[in-house]
Amino acid sequence: MEQATVENVQLLPAKNDDHGGVVVELEEHMDSDVFLTLLKTSLSQWTMQGKKGVWIKIPIRLVNLVEPAVKEGFCYHHAESDYVMLVKWIPETTSTIPANASHRVGVGAVVLNHKREMLVVQEKNGPLRGKGIWKVPTGIVDVGEDICTGAIREVKEETGIDTEFVEVLAFRQWHKSFFEKSDLFFVCMMRPLSFDIQIQEVEIEAAKWMPLEEVAAQPFAQKESLLRYITDLCIAKVERDYSGFSPLPVTSGVIYLNKRDLN
């Protein structure tokens, strides 16, 4: 993105967004004083043009530009490992800039074999470490990864078992779970394609195939816990043909729905 000029006046390199604002992506090294001059000139121009939100993406190598931007009224919106995103609302109206991502997405993989045994693990880390509790493989979905793909990956990483995604049985929303962010946790039904367990020794203490009734009989699973509802859902699926939500590709991603009762 080339540096823009308006009537021979230099502006910061920017492109229009879809909401009446502009996005600045800085790439080349720039002195703080030079940046501040360009920023003030650009803000004046964007104000005259009726622009609304101004986004500035600053790579970590240009961190010297953060302070002058903040002094001009920009605030932090979000940060990643290699950049920080700053934003400023220009009009004297209520800002409509959306907040940073409010949730992270987790998956729990329910894998049942033909013997009505569930694939369960004991973790080396986390709140259940050392408590002898057997639970389903769980993990966080990666950026750009579908829920169904994330569930397959987590099972493979933790236990070495290959699986096929069947459906989402249920999901849970939990607030203030990770740096004040909320958490969406999807309980996923999986079909095993292999059966020989090879644990991920860094995170997993043990893994095995365990009769569903034994998993449900654990004292922890008898309490008002997520594990209790997971085992209840498994029994409902096996014995009463409980129907969850299956993935269907659409132009904007993947929609999860009850295919059986759709028509």
Question: pLDDT per residue over 61-77, tens digit each?
Answer: 999 999 999 999 999 99
Q: Provide mean pLDDT across the span 79-90.
A: 96
- Per the listing, tokens 């013997």 go with 115
From start to end of the chain, where are the E strands?
A: 5-6, 9-10, 14-16, 22-25, 53-59, 75-80, 83-89, 103-111, 117-123, 138-140, 163-178, 181-192, 204-211, 246-250, 253-257
pLDDT greater at residue 92 or residue 178? 92
Report residue 216 as tokens.
Answer: 């449900």
pLDDT, tens digit, 9 for 90 and up, residues 221-262: 888 788 899 999 999 999 998 999 999 999 988 999 998 887
pLDDT > 90: percent of the chain: 79
Q: SS3 of 134, please? A: coil
pLDDT, tens digit, 9 for 90 and up, residues 10-25: 899 999 999 999 999 9
The single-letter code of the amino acid at 120 is V
Q: Provide mean pLDDT across the span 49-61.
A: 96
Phi first, then psi, for residue 40 (nearest 5°) are -60, -45
pLDDT confidence of 6, banded at 50, 70, 90? low
Say if residues 156 and 142 touch (Cβ distance below 8 Å).
no
Report residue 116 as tokens.
Answer: 């009505």
| Catalytic residue flag (residue 157) | yes
Say if residues 222 and 200 touch (Cβ distance below 8 Å).
no
> What pLDDT was estimated at residue 2?
42
Evaluate if pTM is beyond 0.75.
yes
Phi first, then psi, for residue 78 (nearest 5°) are -160, 170
Between the alpha carbon of residue 7 and those of residues 75, 108, 196, the distances in Å are: 29, 58, 70
Distance CA 214, CA 211 (A): 5
- Residue closest to 152 by CA, chosen among 209, 103, 191: 191
Residue 3 predicted with pLDDT over 50: no
pLDDT > 70: percent of the chain: 96
**Average model confidence (pLDDT) for the chain?**
92
Residue 4 predicted with pLDDT over 90: no
Say if residues 2 and 13 touch (Cβ distance below 8 Å).
yes
Spot the catalytic one: 72, 145, 157, 205: 157
Residue 180 predicted with pLDDT over 90: no
> What pLDDT was estimated at residue 1?
45
Rounded (5°) CA angle 193-196-201: 115
Between the alpha carbon of residue 40 and those of residues 17, 33, 36, 86, 166, the distances in Å are: 20, 11, 6, 15, 55
Q: Provide mean pLDDT across the span 208-217.
A: 95
pLDDT, tens digit, 9 for 90 and up, residues 89-123: 999 999 999 989 889 999 999 999 999 999 999 99
Distance CA 221, CA 225 (A): 6
Residue 195: other Cβ atoms inside 10 A:
14
> What pLDDT was estimated at residue 52?
95
> What pLDDT was estimated at residue 260?
84
Residue 153 predicted with pLDDT over 90: yes
